[in-house]
A and B are shown apart, each in its own frame.
Chain A
């Protein structure tokens, strides 16, 4: 047990307590395992990696057979059982077969009492265990008491992001030992990010192998302290938004080269942190808006990140090549979604007569001002209304051809519109659609075709 824990602690810094508990529970295969362990924590806290390494270590140093599986893969119970059997009983090949839970338990039970089975342990880890709740109703209860059913020294480890109180079913579950992996605090995160210093340094040196001048500066400047200073600056920006260690690691690697640039050019001293900070602050903030997006782009290009959000929508709207009428249909759909149907007469009918203002309406308006329909989300509309608005805003009278109608269905296919109800009876007019694009997007399309969308939106009147 001690040897396993000590070798694990090198791999997983700041997880000494969790490794210690795991070691106490399932460290020694000669002792009886608990029947089930439930390990939970946020994403990126190292549940999967820790268990996988622990199981591997156990399998190497002790007489333990292990199985690690992901519950998402198991869309039927049979797949799960066969994966488990396959990894618990190696070398069975094609002869392996488990049709149902009973078969599986029977086969495991047969190993009980086999020669040399006294000190044999079995460890099963199930990743994404929240999926077990959606499988057949007997899967989770049986897994939790598999030790009792098979009379083997066996432990089932469930990994999930949820606490266990989300798992209780209507018929009751047996006892389980819960173990929480808390998120790392700032110091721990910095320690973990800084633990790969040697690797980063060697990588940098390799990168500048040709350029001797830069190599010299790099060798001199990139020290442990320098790297830690960088990480400190990095975390001061990022830690508020994201504590997911893998994500932080990726972004930190990306931004390091920008941070290093002035040092290598010789414009800034490696010890002058405040100047380095001024230099890096902009790129870090722009990288913060890009977190979780995993866009493989060199960070230099995205330096002017302030308008990137706007740009991407504009780019998308311009790059989306739609026919002229389809663009108008899309605009009409947006107007139909975001204007109330009782405003249609006022907005689109030319000579609609004078509108009376009543006190009641004025009051009602005043109340609903904060509820802009563009922020409340789209309402549904019928195809008739869509076509009516389309003809009202188009101003040139085109025939209602099948091309025009097929463009509506194409827009649905492209997921720019979507069906809310009545997908079966489109032709009889009871189907209702919804527009799924945003205001920015439709404004861009309007700009392309020369149509002011804002003018027709009730919200902006």
Chain B
């Protein structure tokens, strides 16, 4: 069946092995097992593959042993029999590119703590972590239904199609889509649905839009090839009809990153579903609702179709529900505390991640206060930390000279009426204010240093100090903030 893909025979061999090896234990999101050769044939192919590799290697060996040191070259003989033997870096890279080595991470030396030893606040904190996606997302049932119906229909009908999902960050777009895919995969495993392959790319994880081809091909076969090669192989796969071709669902996250000036990658990704041979279903996710009309070319928008879904930001009730669902039956949070978080976040962005992060910060504050339950006060403190601006504090903690300089910038803005001031005008104001306050005026060199420091702290926006007296200065804080910070501070002192 893989012959239709048009890849050379040897690589087909290889790719089968790779998938078995790499994705053996990956049960959640991967291509389902199809009519594969049994374990024994894999072993066979593995064995007959490795000598082949070593045969292919031999001509290169003399050259390498002449350039590199002896001990590095000698173990290459051992490769043929055991993969555990040490490899030269180029052998290792070859294996990595062929997908034969799965990337693993270092294990920690001590074991993670048991759940039984954790306090209720700790458990709540773990539950509130953004990465712990619940099995069924609360408040997104309608969207789930929508996507589920679309994808199920496309899989059942064995045709291709596109869908565009949009919404501001943190409204559960990717979580719902992957949730739908997981449900569909479970159904496919129980033979209630035709099997399908699931591929996933994220525009933000690519250095370049064309790397999307490489990633897609890598998820199909496990091999890393150049993008030109990957593109032609994918083109061949999706355009030539093959019997028993299964449906492929491709999830494209962060679609707007894939849009370059030529838009060839986006066009290809949306053009393949229109081919009858492809059976490709593309679900695209982005933040802006009007992206197809604003950024994409006419032919691309036309292929994207009109099946769209917009995620509204969560209301405060929904956020409350989400947090309470995360907490489960735990008593770690007061009801009104959750409500306060929900109301504050829903008023700003409706971002669920933000609500969860604030709740986590509130648990940490409660932890340091040695309280078992998170109250309104802790939440208020967490909100102040995560929402409140630190600018007034920064101005209050400036040195005397810096405060005078900030006042002078504000005074110069008021005097001239325009936002942009030059250093010369500001320095004249500094002289005036310093004379008024009875302190000695700093020389311009020192004032430039003060200016550069404030500019580095982003309290003002200044240029490089090489054009000293003529550099332009903008006030980055509001003039009221300066007066508030300095006046209230005076009263307190």
- Chain A interface (Cβ < 8 Å from any Cβ of B): 133, 163-173
| Set of chain B residues within 8 Å of A165, measured between Cβ atoms | 444-446, 448-449, 465, 468
Residues of A within 8 A of B446 (CB): 165
Docked CA distance A40–B446 (Å):
16
A169 and B453 CA atoms in complex are apart in Å by 9
Query: With A165-B449, A168-B449 known to touch, is A133 a contact of B466 (CB < 8 Å)?
Result: yes
The minimal Cβ–Cβ distance linking A163 to chain B, given in whole angstroms, is 6
Decide if B453 touches A167 in the complex (CB within 8 Å).
no
| Contacting residues of chain B (431-451) with chain A, CB-CB under 8 angstroms | 444-446, 448-449, 451
Q: Are B453 and A170 in contact (CB under 8 A)?
A: no
In the docked arrangement, what's the CA distance between A8 and B464, Å?
37
**CB of B137 closer than 8 Å to a CB of A:** no
Stretch of B111-119, B216-224, B455-463 at the chain-chain interface: B455-463
Nearest A-chain residue to B446, judged by Cβ? A165
Chain B interface residues (CB < 8 Å from chain A): 444-446, 448-449, 451-453, 455-457, 462-466, 468
Complex A-B: 29 CB contacts under 8 Å: A133-B464, A133-B466, A163-B445, A165-B444, A165-B445, A165-B446, A165-B449, A165-B465, A165-B468, A166-B465, A166-B466, A166-B468, A167-B465, A168-B448, A168-B451, A168-B464, A168-B465, A169-B452, A169-B464, A169-B465, A170-B452, A170-B455, A170-B462, A170-B463, A171-B456, A172-B453, A172-B455, A172-B456, A173-B452
Cα-based distance from A164 to B468 in the complex (angstroms): 11
> How far apart are the CA atoms of A166 and B467 in the complex, in Å?
8
CB-nearest residue of chain B relative to A167?
B465
Closest to A162 in B: B466
Q: Which of A163, A165, A167 has most B Cβ within 10 Å?
A: A165
Bound together, the chains give a CA A172 to CA B453 distance in angstroms of 6
Tell me the bound Cα distance from A320 to B215 in angstroms.
69
Known: A168-B449, A171-B456, A172-B453. 5 other contacts (CB 8 A): A165-B444, A165-B445, A168-B465, A172-B452, A172-B456
Residues of B within 8 A of A164 (CB): 445
Q: How long is the Cα–Cα vector from A399 to B261 in the complex, in angstroms?
A: 53
Assembled-state Cα–Cα distance A163/B465 (Å): 11
Cα of A167 to Cα of B465 in the assembled complex, Å: 6
Nearest-neighbour CB distance to chain A for B398, whole angstroms, equals: 14
A165 to B464, CA, bound (A): 10
**Given the complex of chains A and B, what is the CA–CA distance between A20 and B166 in angstroms?**
69
Give bound CA distance, A26 to B455, whole Å. 32
Residues of chain A contacted by B453 (CB below 8 angstroms) = 172
User: Once bound together, how far apart are the Cα atoms of A238 and B452, in whole Å?
Assistant: 41
**Residue contact A170 to B456, C-beta cutoff 8 Å:** yes
Q: Which residues of B contact A133 (CB under 8 A)?
A: 464, 466
Q: How far is the CB of A164 from chain B (nearest CB, A)?
A: 8
Point out which of A164, A168, A172 has the most chain B C-beta atoms below 10 A from its C-beta: A168
Shortest C-beta distance, B67 to chain A (Å), equals 15
Q: Which residues of B contact A163 (CB under 8 A)?
A: 445
| A325: min CB distance to chain B, Å | 46
What B residues does A168 contact at CB under 8 A?
448-449, 451-452, 464-465
In the bound assembly, the distance between CA atoms of A173 and B444 in angstroms comes to 18
Chain A proximity of B426: nearest CB distance (Å): 15
With a cutoff of 8 Å between Cβ atoms, the chain B residues found around residue A172 in the complex are 452-453, 455-457
Closest to A178 in B: B445
Q: What is the bound-complex CA distance between A168 and B448, given in angstroms? A: 8
A96–chain B nearest beta-carbon distance, Å: 20
Sort A-B residue pairs by CB-CB distance and give the 4 closest, nearest first.
A172-B456, A168-B452, A168-B465, A165-B445
- Which residue in chain B gives the minimum CB-CB distance to A134? B466
B237 to chain A, nearest CB (A): 39
In the complex, residue of chain B having the shortest beta-carbon distance to the beta carbon of A169: B464
Task: Collect the chain A residues with CB atoms within 8 Å of residue B464's CB.
Answer: 133, 168-170
The minimal Cβ–Cβ distance linking A47 to chain B, given in whole angstroms, is 19
Q: Which residues of B contact A166 (CB under 8 A)?
A: 465-466, 468
- Residue from B444, B446, B451, B452 whose CB has the most chain A CB atoms within 10 Å: B452
**Contacting residues, chain A, for B465 (C-beta < 8 A):** 165-169
Give the shortest distance, in Å, between A167 (CB) and chain B (any CB): 7
Residues of B contacting A170 with CB < 8 Å? Answer: 452, 455-456, 462-464
User: B452 contacts which chain A residues (CB < 8 A)?
Assistant: 168-170, 172-173
Taking CB atoms, residues of chain B closer than 8 Å to A173 are 452
Q: What's the Cα separation between A431 and B381 when bound, in Å?
A: 68
A91 to B453, alpha carbons, bound, how many Å? Answer: 42
Q: Which residues of A contact B444 (CB under 8 A)?
A: 165
In the complex, the chain A residue whose C-beta lies closest to that of B467 is A166
Q: Which of B453, B455, B466, B468 has most A Cβ within 10 Å?
A: B466
Report the separation of the CA atoms of residues A229 and B395 in the bound assembly, to the nearest whole angstrom: 62
Among A133, A169, A171: residue with most chain B CB under 10 A: A169
- The interface residues of chain A lying within 8 Å CB-to-CB of B457 are 172
Please indicate the chain A residues that have their CB under 8 angstroms from the CB of B451 in the complex.
168
Distance from A30 Cβ to chain B, minimum over Cβ atoms (Å): 32
